[in-house]
């Protein structure tokens, strides 16, 4: 029988999930049945994290308990802090995040326990600690004193506090919170599938998350939000945008922040994120990035029929919020830990080793002839 190759697993349905549904035909996305846009308008990130893990939105008591557990688990060990202090200052924060999760695996008493209860506890610990590890590196490489997490702040407020020593005005925090909700989960994307593949050998959650972080780093996946900002910086000014993007298209360059494996007529998350990017842009009195955004989007749709993905609005939004460019993908990590860990738990609950086949196209069968006999 002829072996049909589906490169990149294009169009292959490999398993079921109850976590999220990506609907390219109507440009829609739901988490546990709730439309993501509605979640953005009505919930804070912690509620959505709870929803992704537990399947339902929390009531007041459940939310209070969940928030208090997250806040209690934010601190990282002195050992991990010291390791981060010794990391080369030029390390990419994605590599720092990956290494930090590996160290957390060494320190966690339940690393090898794959029971549902232990996995839920580990998910919460990884979720609460990764932002702290990243913030420590953010400050250390700038020669600044590390700031400990604060229990009286929300997840997003605390992240700003640990990086910058202050919490910005509520509209900025809200825009950041919305970006985390939109980044939290997205079906069987490459990093989630990586996490599920690692899990399928019955390996542990920390290992699956380190693999997922490595996968997300790539520019065809999460790394695109950093590349978007690098592109906008190269474009320099709105008046240069049209010429720049036309030239890029003529040279058949891949334009970062555009295109998607699943969505072909627009990413369901972009209208919401664009709205919040524009709010940030207005607060920061930015006209430049807003105008570059509009021009690049217009030309890409007109000439290529390719639409922006979520990384296009988050790039300039995070830049205007004050984050270093190489921290954009790590922000994606802190959001996506919720989705990854939910998938890891789902994979454990109904596991089958993931082991596809390959078609051999190498040398034909040949006999061993020792070198000195040739």
Which residues contact ligand COA by CB under 6 A?
Answer: 8, 220-221, 224, 254-261, 304, 306, 309, 311
Residue 346: CB atoms within 10 A of its CB come to: 17
Nearest to ligand COA of 116, 220 (CB atom): 220
> Which residue's Cβ lies closest to ligand COA?
259
Nearest to ligand COA of 66, 293 (CB atom): 293
Using the structure block, give the residue that is written with the tokens 């989705």.
339
Residue 365: CB atoms within 10 A of its CB come to: 4
Q: Record the tokens describing residue 281, joined without a space.
A: 């842009």
Rounded least distance, CB 303 to ligand COA, Å: 10
Nearest to ligand COA of 198, 255 (CB atom): 255
DSSP assignment of 101-159 = HHHHHHH-TTTT--SHHHHHHHHHHHHHHHHHHHHHHHHHTTTPPP----TTS-HHHHH
Using the structure block, give the residue that is written with the tokens 């605390």.
158
Distance from C-alpha of 317 to C-alpha of 75, rounded to nearest angstrom: 28
Rounded least distance, CB 354 to ligand COA, Å: 20
- Nearest to residue 277, comparing CAs of 198, 171, 120? 171
Rounded least distance, CB 97 to ligand COA, Å: 18
Distance from C-alpha of 104 to C-alpha of 209, rounded to nearest angstrom: 11
Rounded least distance, CB 252 to ligand COA, Å: 7
Catalytic residues: 260, 311
Nearest to ligand COA of 66, 307 (CB atom): 307
């Amino acid at each position: 029988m002829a072996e049909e190759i589906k490169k990149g697993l294009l169009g292959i349905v490999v398993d079921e999930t109850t976590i999220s549904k990506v609907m390219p035909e109507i440009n829609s996305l739901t988490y546990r049945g709730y439309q993501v846009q509605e979640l953005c308008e009505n919930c804070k990130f912690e509620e959505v994290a709870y929803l992704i893990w537990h399947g339902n939105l929390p009531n007041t008591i459940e939310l209070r308990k969940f928030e208090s557990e997250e806040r209690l688990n934010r601190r990282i060990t002195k050992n991990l802090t010291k390791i981060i202090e010794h990391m080369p200052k030029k390390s990419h924060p994605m590599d720092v995040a990956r290494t930090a999760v590996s160290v957390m695996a060494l320190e966690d008493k339940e690393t090898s326990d794959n029971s549902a209860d232990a996995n839920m506890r580990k998910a919460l610990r990884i979720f609460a600690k990764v932002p702290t590890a990243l913030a420590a590196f953010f400050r250390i490489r700038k020669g600044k004193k590390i700031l400990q997490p604060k229990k009286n702040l929300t997840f997003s407020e605390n992240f700003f506090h640990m990086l910058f020593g202050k919490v910005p005005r509520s509209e900025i925090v809200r825009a950041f919170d919305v970006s985390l909700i939109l980044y939290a989960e997205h079906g069987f994307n490459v990093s989630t599938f990586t996490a599920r593949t690692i899990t399928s050998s019955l390996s542990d959650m920390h290992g699956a998350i380190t693999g997922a972080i490595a996968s997300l780093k790539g520019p065809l996946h999460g790394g695109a939000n950093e590349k978007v900002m690098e592109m906008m910086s190269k474009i320099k000014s709105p008046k240069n945008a049209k010429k720049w993007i036309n030239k890029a298209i003529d040279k058949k360059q891949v334009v970062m922040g555009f295109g998607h494996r699943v969505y072909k007529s627009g990413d369901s998350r972009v209208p919401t994120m664009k709205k919040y990017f524009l709010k940030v842009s207005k607060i920061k009195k930015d006209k430049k990035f807003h105008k570059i955004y509009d021009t690049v989007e217009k030309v890409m749709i007109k000439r290529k029929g390719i639409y922006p993905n979520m990384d296009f609005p988050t790039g300039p939004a995070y830049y205007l919020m004050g984050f270093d460019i190489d921290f954009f993908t790590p922000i994606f990590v802190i959001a996506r830990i919720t989705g990854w860990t939910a998938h890891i738990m789902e994979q454990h609950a109904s596991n089958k080793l993931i082991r596809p086949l390959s078609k051999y196209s190498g040398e034909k069968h040949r006999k061993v002839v020792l070198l000195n006999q040739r």
